[in-house]
């Protein structure tokens, strides 16, 4: 049941992007028009990828403002560098690779102290009753969001891409220019670190679930 | 199966990527080991929560921001620079709000300062003129000293030759007044030349002049009448010091003398 839910969600997420790449000719034509600086074509391209890019940025930053800034940077970079796209990979992969690079560069220097994260999580637990949630949103999500923000940029990126956005290790390896093995081992480490943060609240989660 | 191996492969187990036999052993261990069971539970929770994060939607205003930035970067470089300058000027104008006469005065002052600076830097030739004049004076002085040294040596040679070649026995009533007068004049000349030559640092010629000076002094101090002893002393002095030979050698290479003096200058 769980597996089915996870895969369904992942499929839903990657569907739009894959659909664009399968009809590669449309993308290629768009790319050519974008290279000429055609604003309308740029807008069409933006419409195709904006939500995927925005979601990656949002999950990395956990802030609307930062996510908007990163998305803006990513698309400006895409249109500036579009001449260097040679078609060796799917265009979507190229766009996400630029996004991932911008995210990692943006968050590389930002290190949150573990003590601070533990403090924030305990505060969250204290104020759990007044947390506003709806039926679709579990009360554990804010905990997980806080814990994700405590991960180092590289681990966080892989966790976001694999567990939240539903990419395969193969795709992540291409986006981040790493091997599939590295992607797997870093995901394992990221999950392990998250588990350490969330363990104290597990009993609470089970009672809420 | 040990716990370490189980916990390491929990992700693969969760995604059903283990082989059938390994999965059976895995499940057996999980039933028996509460720690690994708890680990699996936590992991499941994390993965499930992560996969069910709600999707966020990029705001409509984002394209406008991107488009604005693209319009700036699409502009040719000079336009971008001029826009940046205009923007900077506008910002600065907010910072420095002075009355117009103050700005005009400041402008005039700035132009004056720049003008003086440029003038001093590029158009000041005073030092060069001085330097040129100095060099010309030194060269003229050098030439004069050189000429007068030549005359001095020439006259001394004639004087010495005259004395050396005199046979007192044949000319008993000889008069030395002319030689003494010439010697006195040459002594005055020697005093001038020594000063000049010490300035030009031409030590070799200066030394020669000084040696001649001693003999000239002896000549100048001769008695009016027959002073055979002193005459003989003068003659032997000229001979002993090889003065005529030294003058001769000096005369052989006058150009080198001048050149060495110039180099010293």
Query: Which chain A residues are closer than 8 Å to B43 by Cβ?
Result: 191, 195
Mean pLDDT across the stretch A135-162? 84
For residue B9, give the chain A residue with the closest CA: A188
**Chain B residues with CB inside 8 Å of A135's CB?**
none
Q: What is the CATH number of the domain that holds A208?
A: 1.10.10.10
B58 touching A (Cβ < 8 Å): yes
Residue given tokens 């010629």 in the structure block: B205
Say how many CB pairs under 8 Å bridge A and B: 103
Chain B nearest CA to A72, separation (Å): 6
Residues A74 and A162 in one domain: no
Q: Which residue has the higher pLDDT, B165 or B152?
A: B152
CB distance from B63 to chain A under 8 Å?
A: yes
CATH number of residue A12's parent domain: 1.10.1740.10
pLDDT at A107 over 80: yes
Domain that holds residue A133: 112-209
Same structural domain, A6 and A102: yes
Contact B51 A67 (CB under 8 A): no
Please check whether residue B198 touches A, CB under 8 A: no
In tens, the pLDDT along A12-21 reads 444 444 444 4
pLDDT, residue A186, reads 93
A152-176 average pLDDT score: 93
Share of chain B above pLDDT 90, in %: 6
Residue B121 contacts residue B127 (beta carbons within 8 Å): no
The reply to whether B114 touches chain A by the CB within 8 Å rule is: no
Whether residues A158 and A104 share a domain: the answer is no
Q: How confident is the model over B216-244, as a mean pLDDT? A: 76
Mean per-residue pLDDT of chain A: 81
Average pLDDT in chain B: 78
pLDDT score at B189 = 86
- Same domain, residue pair A121 and A105: no
pLDDT digits (tens, 9 = 90+) for A66-98: 999 999 999 999 999 999 988 888 888 899 999
| Average of per-residue pLDDT across A21-36 | 72
Q: Which residue has the higher pLDDT, A117 or A157?
A: A157
Q: Which of A177-186, B62-71, B253-262 has the least mean pLDDT? A: B253-262
A172 in the same domain as A119: yes
Which of A44-58, B102-116, B127-141, B150-164 shows the lowest mean pLDDT across its residues? B127-141
Question: Do A149 and A102 share a domain, yes or no?
Answer: no
Among A81, A110, A139, which residue terminates a domain? A110
User: In angstroms, what separates the C-alpha of A54 from chain B's closest C-alpha?
Assistant: 6
Please say which residue of A67, A88, A110 terminates a domain. Answer: A110
Q: Do A198 and B42 touch (CB under 8 A)?
A: yes
pTM metric for this prediction = 0.55
Among the three residues A110, A142, A174, which one is the final residue of a domain in this structure? A110
Query: Are residues A83 and A116 located together in one domain of the fold?
Result: no
Residues of B in contact with A39 (CB under 8 A): 67, 70
Q: Do B58 and A68 touch (CB under 8 A)?
A: yes
Answer whether A173's CB lies under 8 Å from A182's CB. yes
* Domains of chain B, earliest start first: 3-51 (no CATH), 137-264 (1.20.120)
Tally the domains of chain A: 2
Per-residue pLDDT at A178 exceeds 90: yes
Q: Do A58 and A10 share a structural domain? A: yes
Q: List, for residues B39-58, the tens digit of each pLDDT value.
A: 888 888 889 888 888 889 99
Closest partner CB to A163 (pick from B41, B47, B58) = B47
Q: What is the structure's pLDDT at B98?
A: 66
Both A57 and A147 in a single domain? no
- The 3-state secondary structure of chain A reads CHHHHHHHHHHHHHHHHHHHHHCHHHHHHHHHHHHCCCHHHHHHHHHHHHHHHHHHHHHHHCCHHHHHHHHHHHHHHHHHHHHHCCCCCCHHHHHHHHHHHHHHHHHCCCCCCHHHHHHHHHHHHHCHHHCCCCCCCCCCHHHHHHHHHCCCHHHHHHHHHHHHCCCCHHHHHHHHCCCHHHHHHHHHHHHHHHHHHHHHHHHHHHHHC
Note whether A106 and A125 are same-domain residues: no
């Amino acid at each position: 049941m769980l597996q089915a839910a996870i895969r369904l969600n992942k499929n839903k997420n990657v569907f739009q992007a894959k659909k664009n790449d399968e009809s590669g000719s449309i993308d290629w034509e768009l790319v050519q028009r974008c290279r000429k600086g055609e604003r309308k074509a740029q807008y069409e391209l933006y419409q195709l990828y904006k939500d995927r890019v925005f979601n990656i940025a949002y999950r990395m930053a956990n802030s609307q403002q930062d996510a908007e800034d990163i998305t803006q940077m990513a698309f400006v970079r895409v249109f500036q560098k579009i001449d260097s796209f040679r078609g060796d990979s799917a265009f979507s992969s190229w766009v996400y690779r630029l996004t991932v690079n911008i995210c990692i560069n943006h968050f590389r220097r930002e290190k949150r102290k573990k003590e601070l994260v533990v403090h924030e999580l305990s505060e969250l637990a204290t104020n759990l009753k007044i947390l506003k949630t709806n039926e679709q949103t579990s009360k554990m999500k804010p905990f997980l969001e806080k814990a994700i923000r405590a991960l180092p940029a590289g681990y966080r990126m892989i966790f976001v891409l694999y567990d939240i956005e539903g990419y395969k290790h193969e795709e992540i390896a291409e986006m981040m220019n790493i091997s599939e093995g590295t992607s797997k081992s870093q995901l394992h480490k990221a999950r392990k670190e998250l588990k350490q943060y969330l363990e104290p609240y597990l009993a609470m989660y089970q009672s809420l679930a | 199966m040990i716990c370490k191996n189980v916990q390491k492969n929990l992700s693969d187990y969760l995604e059903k990527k283990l082989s059938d036999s390994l999965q059976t052993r895995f499940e057996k261990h999980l039933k028996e080991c509460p720690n690994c069971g708890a680990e699996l539970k936590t992991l499941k929770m994390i993965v499930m929560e992560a996969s069910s994060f709600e999707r966020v939607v990029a705001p409509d205003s984002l394209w406008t921001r991107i488009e604005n930035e693209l319009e700036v970067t699409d502009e040719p470089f000079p336009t971008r620079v001029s826009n940046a300058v205009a923007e900077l000027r506008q910002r600065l104008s907010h910072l420095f709000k002075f009355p117009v006469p103050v700005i005009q005065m400041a402008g005039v002052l700035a132009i004056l300062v720049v003008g003086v600076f440029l003038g001093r830097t590029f158009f000041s030739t005073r030092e060069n003129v001085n330097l040129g004049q100095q060099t010309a004076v030194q060269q003229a002085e050098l030439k004069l000293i050189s000429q007068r040294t030549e005359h001095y040596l020439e006259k001394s040679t004639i004087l010495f030759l005259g004395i050396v070649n005199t046979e007192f026995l044949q000319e008993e009533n000889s008069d030395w007044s002319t030689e003494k007068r010439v010697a006195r004049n040459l002594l005055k000349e020697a005093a001038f030349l020594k000063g000049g030559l010490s300035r030009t640092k031409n030590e070799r010629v200066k030394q020669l002049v000084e040696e001649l000076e001693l003999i000239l002094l002896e000549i100048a101090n001769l008695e009016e009448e027959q002073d055979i002893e002193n005459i003989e002393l003068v003659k032997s002095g000229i001979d002993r010091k090889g003065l005529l030979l030294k003058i001769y050698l000096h005369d052989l290479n006058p150009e080198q003398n001048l050149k060495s003096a110039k180099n010293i200058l």
